[in-house]
Amino acid sequence: MASLNVGNLGEYLREQRRTAQLSLRQLADAAGVSNPYLSQIERGLRKPSAEVLQQVAKALRISAETLYVRAGILDERERDELETRAVILADPSINERQKQVLLQIYESFRKENGVDTHDDGPRTADSSDAETPSV
């Protein structure tokens, strides 16, 4: 796990909050954390948990994974993989089986390119029973 760079995280959060035109108090209320605690995070004095970062990200309408990377909780490559998976899984225009096929293809390309893959992504009961998926 990378070291926590809370100063960089705090500056980034402050920038995102200002871009969203939210006061510190408004963001704290929306994220369900105290105003002083959020202020300490922005000033680099506190190390927030992943749960707090997720709440803040939701309130700012930004990716929690981006905050995890800024905080050193998540590697940039892991974030990219998670976001790719999330986009596929969130697409309402394709069914669950098609989503699983896309994820299998994505993983096979990553393996082919020598990228360390994690096979712990969301799966459905029928996604593991096919050798070669058909769409």
Complete DSSP assignment for the chain: -PPP-HHHHHHHHHHHHHHTT--HHHHHHHHTS-HHHHHHHHTT-----HHHHHHHHHHHTS-HHHHHHHHTSS-HHHHHHHHHHHHHHH-TTS-HHHHHHHHHHHHHHHHHTT------S---TTTTS-SS---
Is residue 53 within 8 Å of 67, Cβ to Cβ? yes
What does R_g of the chain's alpha carbons equal in angstroms? Answer: 18
Other Cβ atoms within 10 Å of 22 Cβ, number: 17
pLDDT for the residue 124: 35
pLDDT for the residue 1: 38
pLDDT, tens digit, for every residue of 73-127?
877 777 778 888 888 888 899 999 999 999 999 889 988 988 765 544 433 333 3
End-to-end CA distance of the chain: 38
Q: Has residue 65 got a pLDDT over 50?
A: yes
pLDDT, tens digit, for every residue of 11-46?
999 999 999 999 999 999 999 999 999 999 999 999
pLDDT, tens digit, for every residue of 44-56?
999 999 999 999 9
C-alpha distances (whole Å) from 80 to each of 76, 87, 126, 128, 131 are 6, 11, 26, 24, 26
